[in-house]
Structure 1
């Protein structure tokens, strides 16, 4: 059975690659490529090694989200995201600490680079910038001077803990268990009209602040959403004043056996595993929802990394059979780590305060934010503008 899957996957991969190459040559010969762009992804690293990932694509003209965007505009932007034209074999030049590094994009337009800092990093700011420039591309529309800026997170040595969070149905309503409703939420809204679950921004900021008051606990967002959604999720976090962090999404396609493999559970576990291996001296809080496989994934994380998980919060999506799965796993983990099935962020915040993860005063802030967000979702008030960003907050917000 496994050999059959490998044979089919290999055939599909070669077919997909040949088709993509033929289409790139055809578009190039007809001068159909629009201006090119570099799309760097927020990533992470250590004082000894920085990891960078991004993609080179044709710029399809996805427009910035506005509160009054029409349904047609939202649908067109989503179509442009998924009807992407990746640029293979392009060369990207990365400038960091005065040194140049060159990397070539793969068949899907992705580039990945590990850089060893030549001089010690200044850890008073946990975000480190890299300058990117498109050095070469065998595309008729290529013009020199296409640049971008990448941000890589390195947790400071005095961070109390890290936070790994799911996105869909954890911080934003997606209805991932209902295909029709999920399509409505994802395709008919934008980064401004999609609302976070009530109180999420205040709760996450309280975890970011921790108990040392330095607001330097790092966030990592792991999702099964495709990389095509990166700009929308990136903007959603920023617009709603949710702490910035690396977004670790999923590549959809036929390459590397993705037609049969790289499912939701294996993708998320692998990303979380990489984070915990990268920071062996940092413990973590895990946050997810009961809608899909977060509880089983987090259970496996606890088993493979004993003593590394401080607690687990699972948002209840109000499906009894899914809630039962969480309760069973919670019982299995009893005595090792607490896995809490919570109805809202205020409940999670109270537990975090009672166990010494956040200040007690933060609970009231979460409750106030919850009321504001609930009113905004019901249309009885306007969404609260983000609080002014302090000097400490900027350390975890690379674009501010």
Structure 2
């Protein structure tokens, strides 16, 4: 039955593409290149070709209507299947086609050894052919791929919802309010999270080259919002590993949450066999059980686990039970705030003790910014450095 529904969905999408094409209903096309990751021997890139839905830049004084319209546009996508793209890296060209939902993926082998002075590597993506009435040559996008340097001390894999940004994922009504009524500037980061994450990125070697990876069950349609949220709030840039969103059951919000996250984390650990990791999540959903399974499957690879307490007693019990099971192997800490996590990280030799004060100060600033404004926050200042994808923050 599932295969029949999937085929029907595919046929309907194909039919609608033909209709839109015939009557010239396609808007100008765009390439959305997702931040990804790789190694010195292979770079992985993922992106999508869709019509430009006209999503406007976020402002702290955006109206509710504007936020709702932008969110609608994110999900009302006109994807372009069988579009041909040219990927250029190190003067080499590679071609790739989009699938039935407009996504493209490619693995590239660098022609010459990568220079690892910067953890980010750029490549050009150009749309060279699409059987769409609005297609015009010259549509390009800049893609960024992270490659951890050999002297990185450890990597960090973090959840997003209710870990770095307030989502209330355990309450469908509140979650809808946070998601649909706000934008990248007005969504609330947890107090002190940006300073804590920067301290982990800095590490103890002071090179600020510990790589971040963000794994979420949010759909790819939310990519631009989450990407901008990280940049605006000065949270270290990293690949965003999201999910497809479609008609089939395993593509809806919340479904198959555990297997998606585990698979993405598994891929990261397999890609970097000589790099150990810190895992960060929250007690609201399944992060603790997922991380427990990761620890079992990859013994010795996880340094410690921080689980933010969403203050639900039954969820806290689950985390505490798993923590007891892991005693003597890996510490899984249920923490009330980022300051508590920072203190443990300093005691464990992951960050400098001086960073604790910075986290506490940032925590108080964030609290004062959001006091009395449950759905909005003061806009964070954006410097030129925030717009860069370098590891400096």
Contact 1:9 1:257 in 2 (8 A): no
Q: CA RMSD in A?
A: 1.9
Indicate whether 1:37 and 2:30 are aligned. Answer: yes
Q: Does 1:396 align with 2:385?
A: no
Distance 1:386 1:36, change over 3 A: closer
2:149 alignment partner in structure 1: 156
1:261-272 residue pairs with structure 2 within 5 A? 263-272=256-265
For 1:71, the equivalent position in structure 2 comes to 64
Deviation per CA, 1:283-329: give whole Å up to 9, x if none.
00000000000000000000000000000000000000000000000
- How has the CA–CA distance of structure 1 residues 221 and 257 changed in structure 2, closer, same or farther, with 3 Å as cutoff? closer
Deviations 1:118-155 (A, max 9, x none): 10000001100000110100000000010000000000
Displacement after TM superposition at 1:226 (Å): 0.2
Show structure 1 runs of 5+ residues with no match. 1-7
| Mapping for residues 80-159 of structure 1, pairs under 5 Å | 80-159=73-152
Secondary structure of the corresponding residue to residue 25 of structure 1: helix
Tell me how far 1:385 sits from its aligned partner.
2.8
Cα gap change, 1:260 to 1:122, in 2 (>3 Å) = closer
Instruction: Summarize deviations over 1:169-224 as a string: whole Å, max 9, x none.
Output: 00000000100000000000000001200000000000000000000000000000
Task: Give the C-alpha shift of residue 257 in structure 1.
Answer: 6.2
In the aligned structure 1, how far is the partner of 2:250 from the partner of 2:334? 34
1:18 aligned counterpart, secondary structure: helix
Q: Which residue of structure 2 aligns with residue 4 of structure 1?
A: none
8 Å contact from structure 2 (residues 217, 253) kept in 1: no
Distance 1:388 1:108, change over 3 A: closer
Aligned to 2:279: 286
2:339 corresponds to 1:346: yes
CA contact (8 A) 2:213 2:240 kept: yes
Q: CA deviation at 1:382?
A: 4.2
Cα deviation, residue 261, structure 1: 11
Kept in 2: contact 1:33–1:58 (CA 8 A):
yes
Distance in 2 (CA, whole Å) between partners of 1:388 and 1:153 is 20
| Other-structure match for 1:3 | none
2:228 is aligned with 1:235: yes
The count of corresponding residues between Structure 1 and Structure 2 is: 389
TM-superposed CA distance for 1:259, in Å, is 7.1
Question: What secondary structure is seen at the aligned counterpart in 2 of 1:362?
Answer: helix
Residue 260 of structure 1, CA deviation:
12
Shift of 1:86: 0.5
Task: Determine if contact 1:350/1:363 at 8 Å carries over to the other structure.
Answer: yes
The runs of 5 or more residues in structure 2 that have no matched partner are: none
- Deviation at residue 395 of structure 1 after TM alignment: 3.0
Aligned to 1:385: 381
Taking structure 1 as the reference length, the TM-score comes to 0.94
Measured in 1, the distance between the counterparts of 2:54 and 2:336 equals 39
Structure 2 length-normalised TM: 0.96
